[in-house]
Structure 1
């Protein structure tokens, strides 16, 4: 399985390097670039945490709508978990193992570290920036997720409790009550989404996003998370990556998209249906 992960890292790095035409900055040393990038990671993390302070009315309305949508999605969690119980034995063990190992902190930072160090040593600003984006996004997402689980205390499916079982009112960790929201999903899809931004080809993007979604899918299969935990984690990772990427536009000359980075989502409701449409400009 480790060989598969490293092969994936090698594929991504080779593809990204082939796509970029950024000129090398010979006058800057590796150490100077490293210090600058570490500062950019810290700045990106701080920027993502401070964004709600700058939200306008529309942003708060969108956030409220997404929160309501997540709550409504919770109503289907028990039924979906029952359906998963019927197909669990049909899911290949290799897929579950990949989903579990890829999104662990060591797997996550192995990937982002490999991308960043490659860009640093070949003096490729676009690849460096990609690594910075990946690391800043996963740090931000990881911190937010940890606070979320300590505040909300939602029971995991494997406890045998219902999806509506919470232990709110304290900050201490409770075994089995750290379901909302999925940390594996945040780490894996933040990396996948950050890498996907390097490519214009929709098929390449789709392939990368599919790999990034495997951990969230497997966490549902192994009864560690409910569907709403994974959906919320996925959207959170997208919002965080877009926010930090916008910040990095002011820090690096190399850009993936010359347009303003804007994230918007719209929720639609109908009998028995919930629709979520996310657009990026």
Structure 2
């Protein structure tokens, strides 16, 4: 039933995404709200349509993401055995934060709070950030819910190996809904979007680190494999960047104008794999 509701949302998104929404001349509270809702839906539709407009570098990045995920897939079982040795050393408050922060309910409390603060204080920069947060979470959330049902990968806590699948279910099959990780996707989407507000690389790095905790915790507690979380984290960057570029044409406040975009590259060598991030 929940999947059907999400599908209805997409049917609404598609026609709205194709329209050019123009701001009203009178910027009162209601007009700002309806304009922002249109941009949230338009941002979701824009993110889903981007693969049809990808060019060389975009396909190369997607290839790196796919290749890196497949490489991690080959060692997921070994990584899962390795992480069991330090589960007891992680403080309970970190574990609790990791499970709770990435949940959809708490995610929308945060993103909605940011947006409403911008709306009622008439701060366009904060409004835009809220729109970016909500639309990124919605796009990523729907995508991962559908993917879980199609792929049907076993969770580590099921006792099955990382290569066990029970795909193609309309209803969610618990313990066979590991890929991708919703917690990792939502948490890092928030961290990456909020980090756009700051120029300091140290602040950005701190936010990225906090945003990666839920994914790490889900691996440690046997809810996900490492490849689930790695894929979801990088995919969330794609989604946020896509929607943020769409919002550049919708708002006067372009806080990312003079900031370098995050770039990443995979490097390979004998028995090694590395990820280089530049921001």
Q: TM-score scaled to structure 2, two decimals? A: 0.86
Deviations 1:157-212 (Å, cap 9, x if unpaired)? Answer: 00111111112355443220111111001111101110010001122212222221
- The residue that corresponds to 1:21 in the other structure is none
User: Which SS does the other structure have where 1:255 is aligned?
Assistant: coil
User: Which SS does the other structure have where 2:36 is aligned?
Assistant: helix
Tell me which moved more, 121-130 or 172-181.
172-181
Aligned-partner Cα distance in 2 for 1:146–1:165: 19
User: Which SS does the other structure have where 2:268 is aligned?
Assistant: strand
Q: How does 1:94-113 map to 2 (within 5 A)?
A: 94-113=93-112
- Residue 261 of structure 1 and its aligned partner are, at CA, apart by 8.2
Q: How does 1:90-239 map to 2 (within 5 A)?
A: 90-239=89-238
Count of aligned pairs between the two proteins: 256
- Give yes or no for contact 2:114–2:129 (8 Å, CA) kept in 1: yes
- The residue that corresponds to 1:32 in the other structure is 31
Q: How does 1:34-53 map to 2 (within 5 A)?
A: 34-53=33-52
User: Which SS does the other structure have where 2:267 is aligned?
Assistant: strand
Aligned-partner Cα distance in 1 for 2:258–2:91: 41
Q: TM-score scaled to structure 1, two decimals? A: 0.86
- Residue 58 of structure 1 and its aligned partner are, at CA, apart by 3.6
Distance change >3 Å, CA 114–CA 93, structure 1 → 2: same
- Residue 119 of structure 1 and its aligned partner are, at CA, apart by 0.5
- Residue 66 of structure 1 and its aligned partner are, at CA, apart by 1.8
Distance change >3 Å, CA 259–CA 52, structure 1 → 2: farther
Q: Which ranges of structure 1 fall in alignment gaps of 5 or more residues?
A: 1-24
- Give yes or no for contact 1:137–1:244 (8 Å, CA) kept in 2: yes
User: Which SS does the other structure have where 2:48 is aligned?
Assistant: helix
- Give yes or no for contact 1:239–1:263 (8 Å, CA) kept in 2: no
Tell me which moved more, 250-259 or 121-130.
250-259
Deviations 1:117-158 (Å, cap 9, x if unpaired)? Answer: 010011000000000000000000001111111111111000
- Residue 61 of structure 1 and its aligned partner are, at CA, apart by 3.3
- Residue 260 of structure 1 and its aligned partner are, at CA, apart by 9.4
User: Which SS does the other structure have where 2:255 is aligned?
Assistant: coil
- The residue that corresponds to 2:12 in the other structure is none
- Residue 275 of structure 1 and its aligned partner are, at CA, apart by 2.4
- Residue 252 of structure 1 and its aligned partner are, at CA, apart by 0.1
User: Which SS does the other structure have where 2:253 is aligned?
Assistant: coil
- Give yes or no for contact 2:124–2:253 (8 Å, CA) kept in 1: yes
- The residue that corresponds to 1:274 in the other structure is 273
Distance change >3 Å, CA 96–CA 263, structure 1 → 2: closer
- Give yes or no for contact 2:199–2:259 (8 Å, CA) kept in 1: no
- Give yes or no for contact 1:116–1:132 (8 Å, CA) kept in 2: yes
- Residue 86 of structure 1 and its aligned partner are, at CA, apart by 1.3
Aligned-partner Cα distance in 1 for 2:63–2:170: 24
Aligned-partner Cα distance in 2 for 1:64–1:262: 19
Distance change >3 Å, CA 265–CA 202, structure 1 → 2: closer
Q: Which ranges of structure 2 fall in alignment gaps of 5 or more residues?
A: 1-23
User: Which SS does the other structure have where 2:266 is aligned?
Assistant: strand
